Amino acid sequence: MLALVSPGQGAQTPGMLAPWLELPAVAERLRWACAVTGIDLILLGTSGSAEEIRDTAVAQPLLVAMALAVAPELNAAEISAQSTGVLAGHSVGEYAAAALAGALSRETALVLVRERGRLMAEAAAATPTGMSAVLGGDTDAVAQALQLHGLVAANVNTTGQVVAAGPLEALAALSAAAPDGARVRSLDVAGAFHTPFMESARVALADIAAAAPYADPRARLLGNGDGGVVSSGADVLRRLVTQVAQPVRWDLCMQTMTDLGVTALIELPPAGTLVGLARRAMPGVQAFAVKTPDDLAEARAIVAAHAELPSEHAPSWRLAVAPVAGTFRPREVGTGDQLAAGDIVGTVESNRSEATIEAVHDGVLLEWLAHDGDPVAPGQPVARLHPVPEPVAL
């Protein structure tokens, strides 16, 4: 099984688009992204300085546009079109993943991420905040230190790598008194992303996204907040908005990939960060970073070797699926009962927490595909629903 992942803010580097513009199809997609966003992303991605592309309002649409422009060059259309792979993105990279999964059009993803970047930049400017990587140290000790200083674990990337976020003075105090065995490294970002300091951005983005078009994902799309498989387009959009002010749990995304049986992971450009995390947390998984067009031949070979054929277990709109691995507990609903979209079908109990399973659409319960106490995998169908026909006007 193949996972295709997209990096988040901080991965951008000056001149990163230059070699990709030599591919006519990529250049065409990037020109369209410029038109959609109203930002000269090509100029910024080729000659923009490190400071210019560090700007949140620039970095976020630039990263998503790059991922969406390059992805088709991997010949990996079957990942999104036939539900045969896993798609995920770190922070803003989740917008690229959602578009590749078919939950958003590329244009919708680019417009939303343009607004997201603008709003998060405004929120960051309101209060002097920042982020620091905490590398190493005991997990509990790091958590206690963050709590002591009033900081938030904005990104939990893997064991031994947490990103603390909050007021600059609190970050300085953490650095001066780092937990035993840990190093604190300041990150070159504009604010405390994925924390309550971004609440104003979340509220404003929710207003903008209220009428945004969406569809149910055609592939296994993982959510940043809990690493769960997201099968509803409405839930995808809701999560994209709420993650602005909530922590990124990339560690849980990698755990879900492991639970699903991912055998290879390809990171879209500007690649390297997520591959590094995968190599530490997902032993035995082939991890490959697409950095330049020279990497495409090898990436295509990995796609051909690891992409699955469609299976009967691929989630569809007629199925209620488990978001994470664990033990299934059904709701007291009988076959023949009608469920409304959003109704709880059951829960999955895991060592992470208890995750709910919702009906994606209105439907009549035809049969249970899992029973009380059964172990379930992420994305595994637990119930089959028959659509409720629309009433016919006479």
The set of catalytic residues is: 91, 194
Distance, in Å, from the CA atom of 354 to the CA atom of 372, rounded to the nearest integer, reads: 14
Query: Rounded CA gap, 251 and 253, in Å?
Result: 5
Rounded Cα gap, residues 220 and 198, in angstroms = 28
The two three-digit tokens of residue 185, written as one number: 């490294």
Name the 3-class secondary structure at 49.
coil
Contacts of 33 (CB under 8 A, 6+ apart): 41, 61, 65, 68, 69, 110
Instruction: Specify the amino acid at residue 288.
Output: F
Q: Taking the mean position of all CA atoms in its chain, how far away is CA 257?
A: 12
**Cross-strand bridge partners of residue 230:** 221
Nearest-5° Cα angle at 221, 220 to 225: 135
CA distance linking residue 356 with residue 352, whole number of Å: 13
Please name the residue that has the structure tokens 């970050």.
171
Angle 344-258-113 (CA atoms, 0-180°, nearest 5)?
65
Contacts (Cβ under 8 Å, ≥6 apart) of 302: 2, 264, 266, 286, 288
Q: Going edge to edge, which strands form the sheet with 375-376?
A: 354-358, 344-349, 326-330, 375-376
Helices (H), the chain: 24-37, 41-47, 50-54, 56-70, 77-81, 93-100, 106-126, 139-148, 168-176, 199-209, 233-242, 250-260, 273-281, 296-306
Say if residues 219 and 79 touch (Cβ distance below 8 Å).
yes
